[in-house]
Every structure is written in C-alpha cells, then in structure tokens.
Structure 1
Amino acid sequence: MWARLRVLCSSGLDLMCIAPDAFALVRELIPYDAATLYLTGPDGETYTTWQSSVLDCVRNVCASEEFNRKEDRYKISDLVMAAPKVGHMLQPPRSYFASLAYQEIVRPAGQHHVLDVRLELDGRRVGLLMLLRAPGAGFDGDDVDEILRVARYFEHAHRSAGCATLAEACLTEEAMVVANRGGEIMYMSGEAQVMLHELAQQAHAPATPGRVPELCQRVIERLASSQQLDQLPVARMWAPGGIIEARAQWLGGPGGSAGPEDLAERTPVGIFLKRVEPVPLRVWRSLQTAALSPQQTEVAFWMGVGVRRDEVREKVGVSEAGLRDCLKVIYDRFDCSSEAALAATLRGLAA
C-alpha cells in the first residue's frame, strides 16, 4: 500500500488531482469515516479543499461567508498555524466542545474523533490533513505515526506538482454553459451544473446562484478583451481526479472590441467545459489491480508515462539487468511485448 502511495505522490500531479485515489489508500492504512484536505496560504487561509464522506450541510457551513467571519479558536487557519504538527485535536481542551467548529461542523457530522497533521514545505505551512471517526475507537499512537508518514508523501506531491506532462490528457467529460458577458447564466447542461459546482468548491467559495464561477468569468473577460478572434481563451483548474478546462467563444458573432459596447454586453458567450484525466493518473489506475511487486509497479508506471529507460533505472534504483527482469514480468501480466505496447495498454489506447 505504501509503495502505491509513494508512486502516486511522485507522479508530478497536483495534490488536489490525486486526492481521491490517495485518500482511498490512506483509508486502508488508517481507517476513517470522513476526511478533509485543506490547502492554505502562508497565513493559514484555505484556498481549496477536498472532502470525503462529508455531509452537504457541513460542506455548506464550511464554505459560508457568515461562518468564516465569526471569531473561533478552532478554525482551520488556527490549526494550520498552531503547534504541534500532528495530533492537535487528539485530546482537545474543554473549550473545544463549546466552539463554533465543534457545534456547527463536527457535532452535526457525528464524527467526534479527529486526527490532524499539518503539511509543510521548507518551513512554510501549506495545508492540513484531517481524518475523522464516529464515536467508538479513537485514534492512537500508531495512527499518529502513520499519518506523519502520509504527510511526508503528500508534502512531496505538493512540492513536485506541475512536473507531469499534460499534453496527452484523456477527455472524460464535456459540458456547455451559455452566459452573458457579466457571467449571468442563460443556459447550462446537466453535466455543466455538476462541473460548475465543483469549480466553486475547488475555489473554496460558495456558488452564486445564476452566475458562473470565477474560472469561467476569467475566460469571458479574456474573450472580451482579446483582439485575436481565431483563438479561444482557455483557463484550467486542478480538480479531484483530473483537470477542468474552460474555453469561451462568442455565440452569434464576435463581441467585445468588434462591436458597440452594448452589443457586446448582449452577445451570449458559450463556455465549453472539459474534464480530462492526466496520463500519469490513468496509468497509475491501470496498475492497481495488477499482480506486480512494488518495484515492478514502479517500473511499469514510469514506462507507461513515457520516461526513458535510463531515467527509469535511476528513479527506481535498478540495474539494466534488473529492469529487463521487471519488464519481462510486466509484459507477461499485460500480454504485450514492447515498451510502446505497454504504454498504449496502460493508457487505455490498445486495440
């Protein structure tokens, strides 16, 4: 399990992208009923979150401006900035049970045991990982040791994010929104509704009914200010399990600088949304049911994403003879006979 988590966290993908798969492994290492990942700025303020098995009512409270304006000693920003690094909430003081965080979030969720660990990079505090359990068996010292190890992998993933090649990402979902230049929604497909909600969640901001989230508004503004009508502005956001991409195009003729301002304001904008799965994530998922050793899994992963043989040897710490032995087993497991065929199989491209 640890080997699989290590490979995933070394993939070069954003931590938010790999969160669903990473937390599925964490659940097997440290059983939990709910989990939350907060990524924060240096002041401890959250800029994006991922949550597993968290009730909608709790999500809404966490994202509400009213709750975040209230004074409370146990907000996420306080936990990020407080010491110690791990287990801050294992034995909370009595004041915790009278806090807004407990009364409005933890108690309604029914998950009273909390194990938290801060994420750090070069002395900077960059996030918080929190596991929760329902009343019953709480977390113990072994769980503390395990979550510290998880944190080290997550910190490595956060540090190396952006190293993965995304040019060959696999399309998994498409949707469309029609809005005016001010961002008021005129039409959206059912798939778009789900994706817009997700964009708002990733921006850690409550969705405004009838309006597009900030990422979509950004591409609308780029479209309105662009002089290059043959190029569609695009914006991307890492999301759990992939990337959401938004492109904007005038519908019914160009707007912006190509016509009077009032005409541009009335011209509808088509926002084309795509969800894509990065190749490293698809390759990693393809390996999860394969009967391979940790070393063979790591070799297969790096070969699947297109890393050269000499780099694979260096990453895995194996000789050329050892690499050949690994590949022999891997080829047998996936019924292929070349590096190109293996990559195509793991990427889901084999005929």
Structure 2
Amino acid sequence: MPAVRPSRAPQDAAAWQALDMLCRLGLGLAPIAAEVCALLRQLVGADAAALFWLHDDGQPAGFHHEDSPASVRNLFLNEFHLFAAPGEPNIVALARPDGPRVGRLLSPGAAHYRSNSHNLLMRPNGHEHTLDLRVEAQGRPRAVAALFRAPGPGFSDEQAARLERAGVSLARAFRTGADQDNIAQATGHVLLDSDGCRPLMADAAALHLLQNAHLPGLGLYGATTADLPVDLPRHLHLRPGEQRHIPVPGGLLHARIHALQPLAGTASASGAAQWLLTLQLQRPQQIDVVRRVLALPLTPLQREIAVLAGLGHARADSLALAGVSNAALKKHLATILDVAGANDWEGLARTLRPQPS
C-alpha cells in the first residue's frame, strides 16, 4: 500500500497568514522583502524569488533578489539602460497596466530568449522560467514580484493563480497612514567635499549600507569606498541640508547631509568646510512583533489576537478588531499568555515588543 503523503494545508495556511500579517503592517514591500520572497517561494513553488518596488513614474526604485550573484546585481543597478530597449521583458514592461496582472512571461516568444534581460540577468542566475506579478495599489503599479525556476518544467496555471492570490496581500503593504516605530540597526558616514558634495572618504559601515540598499546607480558589490560615485547624493535624491527615509531591503535607510562646522579661514562658497552624509538603517519594530507571534505555537485566531497586543492596541479594542466575543477573547488570551510567558495584556505587549536597550 503506498505511503500517504502528509497534507501541506496546515503549513500553507500558516504561510498565507504570515504573508498577510506582514503586508497588513502597511510598511511597503521593501522592509519585508526577504520574508515576502521566502513565503512566495514556499506558497507558489519556485527556486528563487525577487521583488522590485517602483517610483511614481513606474521606474525601479529598489529590489531584493534571493540568490543573484554580485556581478548581476551590479549590472542591473548600474547599467539598467541595457534592459530598457523596446521589447525587453524588463521591470518597467512587466509593471505596465495594459496587460495581464500575472503571467506575462509564462509563455514568452523567441524574442524573450534573445533579450538582454534573459541572457545577461536570468541565465547567469541559473533561471530559465519566470512567473511575474504586477502589484497595484492606490490605482497604480507599485511593485513587481517575480518567481524563477531553473531549466526544466515551467510554471503552471495553478501556480499563477496562487501568485495572483498573494497579490491581494502584497497590495495591502502600500496602504497609507501606517505608523512606524523604527529601531536603529547600523550607522555609517561619508565625508563629502564642500562645494561639489563629492565623496572624500567613507567608513566600512557606510559602504556596507549602500551596497545592500540595492538602489539604481549604486551597484557597489565588490567595490571599495574609493569607488563611490562622485554624484552620490544625486543617487540618494538628496541635497545638502536635507534628509529622507529610503525604503530598502530590511527596513528604511535614513540619509541625512549636514554641514560640518568650518574651521577658521577654511569656509568655502557653500559656507561649510565639508558635508557629512550620515546613513542609518532603521528596522520597523512591527516586523519583529509579527515574527515573534508567528513563532509561537498558537492557532490562527490566537495569532491575530496576540499581534494586536504587540502592535500596541488596547485589549478593549481587540474585541472588534479580532471579531470575537469577550468570553472567546478571555479563553484565547489565557492560552496566549501561557504560551508567551506573560501575565496580562500589557505584559504580553512588552514581551512581543521589548524596548531597545
């Protein structure tokens, strides 16, 4: 008698919930890109996954790819014009709203296999098949998700349907008005000259942050601080005296250019002796709350209740937010507190959302 294969339903249900919980934080896809790619690969079935988020004009603003070599990342970021010709199956083409939301590359024509996108990006990654999804929110394309497979069987219509289902959750990542509670993770500095804001020197932390930001024009894998582009602030869309948060894989990159006090007799036309670019990776704490909740042995409903505490909601509000009665909440909360090692709702919140030391 053949062995009975265990059902994947429980694992899939947990993965769908994890995807939706992370996206419902409303932080965009960049800060949760690694988690989302891993979940999409699990839910749909693929060798690798990638996410590309977009500027308002539809151009790539950044990306996360699970397994591309450094040389391929550098090429994509620094030489995007190679993939922008008409007919290229690039991110801009896949994001256009004049075609299907999912599966444009399920059955590509011969031109696809002659394209730079296939021969310079996909093949060096070991990929032959692509399943793509356009993510829309607020009436416009916001991101492209792509799953990849090595030579062999391609993606099925069923897998395309699963990716399209995931798109409902991915769109929720772009809801407006989400609060952010960021924890600083790493800080680096770049010294800029007085008049042209050209990089003079940078510490290793700054180079690492710029390498892993995956921003257009900043393909810096294998580079040294001497290889920073002379127009680095332009690539960050930043001018002297300004600051901004840039969505990057793993969080938000806070970039700020501020003047150093000039020494006597050294002031230039800009009024500053030099400028300092400070870079700090900040991780939204809400992501860690969801990860801690998902790691607990709870039912799906209990996870929904627990995450409300971790995200700072009052116990009274959780009745309507979780859609349960007071009696049901009391019953489920007893289990949650026992599993989490907390005494009450406030203690659960502290357990799931510890304050930085």
Matched residues, number: 333
Please point out which of 262, 276, 282 is paired with 2:269: 262
Q: Tell me which residue corresponds to 1:138.
A: 154
- Higher alpha-carbon deviation: 11-20 or 59-68: 59-68
Task: Tell whether the 8 Å contact from 1:15 to 1:161 is kept in structure 2 after alignment.
Answer: no
The reply on whether 1:272 has 2:281 as its aligned counterpart is no
Moved more, 175-184 or 283-292: 175-184
State the match for 2:92 in structure 1. 77
Partner of 1:170: 183
- Asked whether 1:301 is paired with 2:310, we answer no
Give the TM-score of the pair, scaled to structure 1: 0.85
Task: Kindly indicate whether the alpha-carbon contact (under 8 Å) linking 2:55 and 2:61 is maintained by their aligned counterparts in 1.
Answer: yes
Q: Does the Cα contact within 8 Å between 1:344 and 1:350 map onto a contact in 2?
A: no
- Does residue 238 (structure 1) correspond to residue 235 (structure 2)? The answer is no
1:39 deviates by 2.4
1:1-351 to 2 correspondences below 5 Å: 1-41=15-55, 44-63=58-77, 64-68=79-83, 70-81=85-96, 82-121=98-137, 123-158=139-174, 160-166=175-181, 169-181=182-194, 182-199=196-213, 201-203=214-216, 206=219, 209-211=228-230, 212-214=232-234, 218=238, 221-222=240-241, 234-253=243-262, 261-262=268-269, 264=271, 267-349=273-355
Greater fraction helix: 1
- In the alignment, is the contact (CA less than 8 A) between 2:63 and 2:215 conserved in 1? yes
Deviation at 1:290, TM superposition (A): 0.9
Partners of 2:85 and 2:235 in 1: CA distance:
27
CA contact (8 A) 1:50 1:202 kept: no
Distance 1:147 1:204 in 2: 30
Q: Which runs of 5+ in 1 are unaligned?
A: 223-232
Q: Residues 162 and 196 from structure 1, CA distance in 2 versus in 1: closer, same or farther, beyond 3 angstroms?
A: farther
Cα deviation for residue 343 of structure 1 reads 1.7
CA distance 1:254–1:325, shift in 2 (3 Å): farther
Matches of 1:331 and 1:65 in 2, distance apart? Answer: 51
Cα deviation digits, residues 164-217 of structure 1 (max 9, x gap): 233xx2222222222224232222221110112334x23565567344344767
Could you tell me how far apart the structure 2 residues matched to 1:269 and 1:278 are? 28
What is the one-letter code of the residue matched to 1:149?
R
Instruction: Tell me by how many angstroms 1:279 deviates.
Output: 1.9
Aligned Cα root-mean-square deviation (Å): 2.7
SS in 1 for 2:279: strand
The equivalent residue for 1:230 is none
Partner Cα distance (2:107, 2:205) in 1? 43
d(CA) in 2 for partners of 1:126, 1:263: 38
Gaps of 5+ in 2: 1-14, 221-226
Letter aligned with residue 192 of structure 2 = A
Q: Which secondary structure state, in structure 1, belongs to the residue aligned with residue 301 of structure 2?
A: helix
Q: Distance in 2 between matches of 1:298 and 1:215?
A: 40
8 Å contact 2:211–2:218 — kept in the other structure?
no
**Aligned partners of 2:25 and 2:318: how far apart in 1?**
13
Q: Partner of 2:45: helix, strand, or coil?
A: coil
Q: Aligned partners of 2:84 and 2:17: how far apart in 1?
A: 42
Identity %: 26
TM-score (norm. length: structure 2): 0.83
Quickly say closer, same or farther: Cα 1:114–1:124, change in 2 above 3 A.
same
User: Deviations for 1:255-309, whole angstroms, at most 9, x for unmatched residues?
Assistant: 9xx99543736x1223332222212112112223211111111111121110123
